[in-house]
Amino acid sequence: MLDLIIRNGLVVDGTGSPGFHAAVLVHGDSITVHRGDSSAFEAARSIDAAGMVVAPGFIDMHSHGGLTILGSPRQEASVHQGITTEVYGVDGISHAPFKTAQELSRYMWQDSGINGYPPLPAKWLSQAELLDQYDGKVSLNAAYLAGNSPLRIWGVGWANTPATPAQIENMKSALREAMEDGAWGLSTGLDYPPGAYGDTAELAALAEVSAKLGGFYHTHTRKSLGVKGVMGPSEEAIEIGRRSGSAVHLTHYRQAQQGKGSHHQWIDLVENGRNEGLDVTFDVYPYEYSQGMVAQWFPFWMRERGPEGILEAIKDGKVRDRLKREIDEADFRDKWVTGFNKPHNKHYEGMQHLEIARIRGEHPVDTLCNLLIEEDLFLTAVGRGTNPHTLAAFVAHPYGMIASDAIHFGEFPSPRTFGTFAIVLSEYVREERQLTLEQAVRKMSSFPAQRLGLPDRGILRNGFKADIVVFNPKTVKANTTREKPRQLATGVEYVLVNGKVVVDRGVHSGATPGRALRRGKRD
């Protein structure tokens, strides 16, 4: 007897091919797609999907939920959009490998404003030990990238100094071990120290190691440290692919601001790279609101000594005077702050930074410093970081995938955390018809699976894993807004992860069948 059968739905299998009516049979954690009469099949449970779409579970190519899910294993913001696998270790910020627990703790502290803290003492150092934290304990599958910041700490330390040949070899060895333990590729976040201190040659050397083991280069490109011009950061990424022989994936890729060139420059760079014979792809989130660490507002010289160095520096009046000269007040505009933990600061949740400064009667830089001291750096900020007029060109482009860049804490996160995949289906497909349903599902399932190298997910095909989403194409909707960003998506009626029902008639079942997906290993 089958465990479950889904009947009467329109199967959109993830390949981009037209949908067709069929039954999806679930046996254990695998599926069979059966066309024709399915009445003879017996199953422990049957789902009637009449009027609904049956698709592969969605794969989020960029999520900052890798630590927060350990404390909130249901990850409801994600599963209610149909996400069954999330990619962690993005922006160069992975949480393995480390030599000591002290270095891991220090690193998690530095980046707590974007990844949060785990709810318990970290009990891992290696990539393998980290991946063990997820098996059967969370509602989603986890796929990890190896970030270049931990690699640089491993080989060089925290300092802004060039890596020696011997240090690069140490980093390559650590990366090779992480890949052998199951990482899917190399990620960089070239606005985040200490990974930001790696130059083009260093990054190409690491990307070559990843590529030889079947991985790819997933990059948040740099905006400073010597890369000039509007397209300079992305051109550096293409050059790293060219030198290393690695596939290049440009993450949260879009025209960042109006008046900064034409969006065709961004699109042309990807297309020209592919015309050259390079394997270049990108992902994009379909909102104009970006989000990042408040501490990222500081210049690099403030962040060279790690989190302790930041806290020490911002208590110094002379440092504050220098910051007031170097930070333009315009940098604070249209940015709201979230993630407050101290009870006396909770009333600032979701307020504009300049408004908080006005209420406190402080210079905006003093407010920035004082709040980070009070909150031990654990703050994040949201603002308009994308040209909304050109966003659809990236969402609809055939070389682009969908990714949320989700940050799963704070009362006022970017709407992208709760709405990314749902708004693609509701606005970009149903309302504006900028994508067909089949194109959108492919961008959220088989295309990211192909980019990662997942061998048996992302398509509804015989023998593939039973990661499935069933949604109503007429009602699926993102309900998140700027004012109320923590609203779950609706219209996703069922979600299966590894054959287990995680969302049942639109309600989370409490099941935690997620696994760590390990490169080179079939689960």
Contact indicator for 142, 515 with CB cutoff of 8 Å: yes
Query: What's the predicted TM-score (pTM) here?
Result: 0.96
Specify the range with the lowest mean pLDDT, choosing from 8-12, 252-256, 412-416.
252-256
For residue 243, count CB atoms less than 10 angstroms from its CB and return exposed for 0-12, middle for 13-18, buried for 19 or more: middle
The DSSP call for residue 521 is -
Decide if pLDDT at 259 tops 60.
Answer: no
- The pLDDT-based confidence of 228 (bands split at 50, 70, 90) is low
- For residue 315, the SS3 value is coil
Q: Is the pLDDT of residue 212 over 80?
A: yes
How do residues 401-440 score in pLDDT, each as one tens digit? 999 999 999 999 999 999 999 999 999 999 999 999 999 9
Cα distance between residue 23 and residue 21, in whole Å: 7
Residue 390: pLDDT above 60?
yes
Helix (H) or strand (E) holding 288: none
Q: What is the percentage of the chain residues whose pLDDT exceeds 90? A: 88
Say whether pLDDT at 223 is over 90: no
Buried residues in 34-62 as b, exposed as e (16+ CB within 10 A): beeebeeeebeebbebeebbbbbbbbbbb
16 vs 442: CA distance, rounded Å:
5
Q: Which residues contact 459 (CB under 8 A, 6 or more apart)?
A: 13, 14, 15, 56, 445, 446, 449
Select the highest-mean-pLDDT range: 55-69, 284-298, 330-344: 55-69
Tokens 């079947």 belong to 214
Q: How far is CA 258 from CA 74, 142, 224, 333, in A?
A: 38, 35, 19, 16
Tokens encoding 248: 């290049």
Phi, psi of 440 (to 5 degrees): -65, -45
| pLDDT above 70 for 523 | no
User: What is the mean pLDDT of the segment spanning 266-270?
Assistant: 95
What three-state secondary structure class fits 6? Answer: strand
Assess whether pLDDT exceeds 90 at residue 206. Answer: yes
Domain segments of the chain as ranges: 1-89+403-444+459-510, 293-384
Cis peptide before 194 (omega within 30 of 0): yes
Going by pLDDT thresholds of 50, 70 and 90, the confidence category of residue 354 is: very high
Q: Give which of 378, 428, 412, 380 is closest to 485, Cα–Cα.
A: 412
- On the question of pLDDT at 522 being above 70, the answer is no
Q: What is the mean pLDDT of residues 304-310?
A: 88
Residue 225: pLDDT band with limits 50, 70, 90: low
Mean pLDDT of 184-202: 95
Band the pLDDT of 304: cuts 50, 70, 90: confident
The CATH label, of 3.20.20.80, 2.60.40.10, 2.30.40.10, 1.10.490.10, for the domain at 1-89+403-444+459-510 is: 2.30.40.10
SS (H, E, C) 119-144: CCCCCCCCHHHHHCCCCCCCCCEEEE
pLDDT at 365 over 70: yes
Q: 328 pLDDT band (50/70/90 cuts)?
A: confident
Phi, psi of 50 (to 5 degrees): -60, 130
Question: For residue 343, what pLDDT is reported?
Answer: 96
Q: For residue range 57-107, what is the model confidence (pLDDT) as tens digits?
A: 999 999 999 999 999 999 999 999 999 999 999 999 999 999 999 999 999
Q: Are 114 and 64 in contact (CB under 8 A)?
A: yes
The residue-averaged pLDDT of 220-239 equals 81
Look at residue 118 and tell me whether its pLDDT is greater than 90.
no
The residue with tokens 């939920």 is 65
| Contact predicate 349/410, CB 8 Å | yes
Confidence of residue 253 (pLDDT cuts 50, 70, 90): very high
- Looking at residue 119, its pLDDT comes to 74
Distance between CA 54 and CA 25 in Å, rounded?
A: 12
Residue 226 confidence class, pLDDT cut points 50, 70, 90:
low
Mean pLDDT of the chain: 94
Question: Distance of alpha carbon 17 from its chain centroid, rounded?
Answer: 27
- Whole-number pLDDT of residue 202: 98
| Mean local confidence (pLDDT), 24-52 | 97
Q: Check pLDDT > 80 for residue 243.
A: yes
pLDDT value, residue 384: 87
- The arithmetic mean of pLDDT across residues 346-355, rounded, is 96
Does position 42 have pLDDT exceeding 80, yes or no? yes
